[in-house]
A and B are shown apart, each in its own frame.
Chain A
Amino acid sequence: MTDKATHTAPQLSVADALKDAALAALVAFGLFFFLIGLRSEQGPTGALLVTTRWPEFAMVVGAVFLGAFGRALVFGRGPIRIGGEMPSWVTHALAVAGRFAAPALLIFAVLTPVLFYQNRYILDLGILVLTYVMLGWGLNIVVGLAGLLDLGYVAFYAVGAYSYALLATHFELSFWICLPLAGILAAFWGVMLGFPVLRLRGDYLAIVTLAFGEIVRLVLLNWQTVTGGPNGISSIPRPSFFGLPFNDEEGGFAATFGLEFSSTHRIVFLFYLILALALVTNWVTLRLRRLPVGRAWEAMREDEIACRSLGINTTTTKLTAFAIGAMFGGFAGSFFATRQGFISPESFSFGESALILAIVVLGGMGSQLGVAVAALVMLAGFELFREFQSYRMVVFGLAMVLIMIWRPRGLVSTRDPSLYLGADEKKTIAASMVKQGQG
């Protein structure tokens, strides 16, 4: 509290604070008189009856009065400055945590099926979180590295899922053949999206990518003969352990390895499968960042005109970013299809795109660790607060506001340079230097 007082307005006298509080209470009175005080209900005859809720109304106005009074006394007038940055002990704790977070998270992820073998709920949640980690990492290439705001990323997820579902059900191809095919098809559609949006920036790019996501969903919904329309595609083949199906028959996974059959085997396999896919995404992204193409992505995010003056083909650079980002979305999509066994256009609504984008933005654009933590916090956190029902949205909103105040650029906002001249000192680049791209 002491360090906050240094940059607030001079303390108000009690009289002034009371005046402020009375004003706030007056506004609350006017606002909540209709919202809370009066309530219309349908009576037995169908007529509207007005009931009153004066005690609740008085409580809310009183709470506003007390809150405004306390705020005026503590913070004075004007906007509350919560530092604009985190308290120093939080920053310090985060710095320490950041050093060990990546290996700790990886070890935890690898051990999860061992620790929670009996707990199907945790394993399913883990698979869900890892799917979104992978999607976040895929979108991170487009948004975080290349700086192209893509609001239709779920389209590539859908292309991957439907590619796998159609190839597997019609041609009976195995998962390991369908996976690369789904990735290639998604990348192809990434390029298809990339071409028309090459010249677009900012809001325009966002709108067109959003429309692209919706177009894909509507096509899936209406092209009944191929996609099954709203009924989706069911009985998609389940994954097998390199040819050994997870069933209790002779020649199944359990029988071959002399284990007692358990449905958990398949869940554990799926868990490790998505973990491996996510780690491949991470490895490729980290590798690409150190290659000319990845540096060109980041340079394009920083300044596209300067890129052109250096002879960098920004067209192919953008298209590769869209294609590679889409490819990982396609991989995640085909994993989703094989895990669910059933897909329908409902799973690929705009809400999914928004969730993936929120993971990337909250995690910190361009940061692999930040995206992973954000996916974990958002999805696992959502599950944890499920008991509190509608209050979880309040908690979620509050957390968002705090992140916006303390970490406007996401949890991990610093940028790691891709190479160093001095071998020993590894400095990071402050978030304020890094641009966020034209879109």
Chain B
Amino acid sequence: MSGANNRPMTDDAPILIVDHLSMRFGGLVAVDDLSFVARRGHITALIGPNGAGKTTVFNCITGFYKPTSGLLRLAHPDHGVFYLERLLNFRVAKLARVARTFQNIRLFSGMTVLENLIVAQHNTLMVASAFTFAGLLGLRSYRSAETAAVDKARYWLERTGLLARADEAAGSLAYGEQRRLEIARAMCTDPVLLCLDEPAAGLNARESAELNELLKFIQREHQISILLIEHDMSVVMQISDHIVVLDYGVKIADGTPEQIRNDPKVIAAYLGVEDEEVEKVGAEVGL
């Protein structure tokens, strides 16, 4: 079920170690002493009921929040190590190369699809344009860098099926297309870890299946580790290698999809039911 037969060869080394992460907002403890490991080349899913603190964890990892305590250790394949709780703001994306998407889509809606993907390559192009000076003079080195950026954008447009709409405003795309464009835009930053916040929200069954294919492709062909928040169990169970379950900011389960599926605590937390009903629901789910 977890696609073990076509899983890429990985050394299963940890890419992200979340170590005793806590995040408090005043008196509210959004994330409480959370520890888990995301392994290289794996798709790790973070699930839990609404308000469980999943997006808070994401915001800590991607530099939008500074955690109250805890360590977030990111290990690059080339042995570079970054402590994400110390890198804030844009530096997480720029230096540690952690890309993310948003629960409520955040595209540059007034810019074209292609421009969205070029903006994602800002830092590469900024260096190529010698921080604007070479670009202003129109030197060849910048023009070739821009061509390369367009080629990379074209590659991801093909992968996400958006090539025909490249010159249209991102805001004019259909909902499912916007979701795919956001993933393509994140991929254009050449990430080591891709964090997806509910990528399947609002997608129909066919679009969810396409999304599964896209994520599998990213994992397989680009050896990118993916961290995923998702409510859609058809996505989570099919593509995840590892699942972490949060409830009220606390980790209640951690394991393979098989283990999670059979964990009564997860079912209880997820469905908010009494113990006797857990068995009933379990029977419906197919235990």
Binding site for B on A (CB under 8 A): 284, 287-288, 291-293, 295-296, 298-299, 301-303, 305-314, 320, 415, 417-422, 425, 427, 429-430, 433-435
Contact = CB atoms under 8 A, between A and B. Distances in A.
Given A291-B132, A292-B129, A420-B114, A310 B120 contact: yes
A221 to B, nearest CB: 36
Given A292-B135, A419-B115, A309 B99 contact: yes
Interface in B124-170: 125-126, 129, 131-132, 135-136, 142, 146, 150, 153-154, 157, 163, 166-170
A16 B203 CA distance: 53
B111 A299 contact: yes
Given A292-B125, A303-B106, A417-B167, A308 B90 contact: yes
Contacts of A302: 107-111
Given A299-B122, A313-B90, A421-B150, 16 more contacts: A291-B135, A292-B129, A295-B115, A296-B122, A299-B119, A306-B106, A310-B90, A310-B93, A310-B185, A421-B153, A421-B167, A429-B169, A433-B109, A433-B110, A433-B170, A434-B109
A427 B92 CA distance: 35
A298 B112 contact: no
A279 B172 CA distance: 34
B118 A419 contact: yes
B62 A309 contact: yes
Given A309-B100, A312-B90, A422-B167, A295 B119 contact: yes
Contacts of A293: 126, 129, 131-132
A303 B108 contact: yes
Contact of A287 (B100, B136, B154, B157): B136
Given A306-B107, A433-B109, A435-B109, A313 B94 contact: yes
A298 B93 contact: no
B17 to A, nearest CB: 22
Nearest to B106: A306
A291 B129 contact: yes
Contacts of A422: 166-167
B122 A292 contact: yes
B108 A312 contact: no
Contact of B132 (A292, A307, A311, A421): A292
Q: Report the contact-size class of chain B (Cβ under 8 Å from the partner).
A: 35 or more
A311 B110 contact: no
B93 A309 contact: yes
Given A296-B119, A417-B112, A421-B150, A433 B171 contact: yes
Contact of B167 (A307, A425, A433): A425
B152 to A, nearest CB: 12
Contact of A429 (B64, B112, B146): B112
A419 B150 contact: yes
B101 to A, nearest CB: 8
A303 to B, nearest CB: 5
B234 interface: no
Contacts of A292: 122, 125-126, 129, 132, 135
B178 interface: no
B102 interface: yes
Contacts of A418: 115
A421 B93 contact: no
Contacts of B154: 421
A433 B173 CA distance: 11
Contacts of A291: 125, 129, 132, 135-136, 142
B189 interface: yes
